[in-house]
Amino acid sequence: MDHLPTAEAAVAVLHAIAAEYAREIEVSHDIGADQTSRRTAAGIGVATDQDGSLPHEAYVELGGLPRVSVRLYPEDDALITVEGVECPDVPRDDVPAFVRSLFDGVAYVEAHRFPLGYFLIVPLPGDRTHREYMPLIHLSPWLSSRVR
């Protein structure tokens, strides 16, 4: 697993993954403390953080099924949305492996009777997984096809 020091480095890797899987990719960038979503207290016209750094946030949408979007935050984490299911706090370095697991068909949905609902299970390198709870109403056709 490579270290991705910036949001731009993660975007470059996502461009490569999109090309590898023949997926369309759309990227938008928010640069500056007054533009990023987690800097609401920054004030109008304030572009840098208090330490002088310029925060960079990117939003990436990948075409095809499953529908995947990635919001890369300046704080080295990401919010990945898969078919409407939000997976928050994914470390930036795990984003490429997470997306590859989805596109390779390795990710699956686990059904539970208690608590009633489903879990999206995304295998990651190093025998790790990302588990995200989904209530019954969130099953899209793609998610339904992955239930175990």
Domain spans in the chain, listed from the N-terminal domain onward = 7-30+55-145
Would you state the pLDDT for residue 45?
A: 54
Mean pLDDT by 10 residues, the chain (148 residues): 86 97 94 57 52 75 97 91 95 97 97 87 96 85 92
Whether 132 contacts 89, CB under 8 Å: no
Tell me the two tokens of residue 13: 């890797």
Would you state the pLDDT for residue 83?
A: 95
Would you state the pLDDT for residue 75?
A: 84
pTM: 0.86
Would you state the pLDDT for residue 144?
A: 92
Q: Where are the alpha helices (DSSP H) in 59-120?
A: 95-103
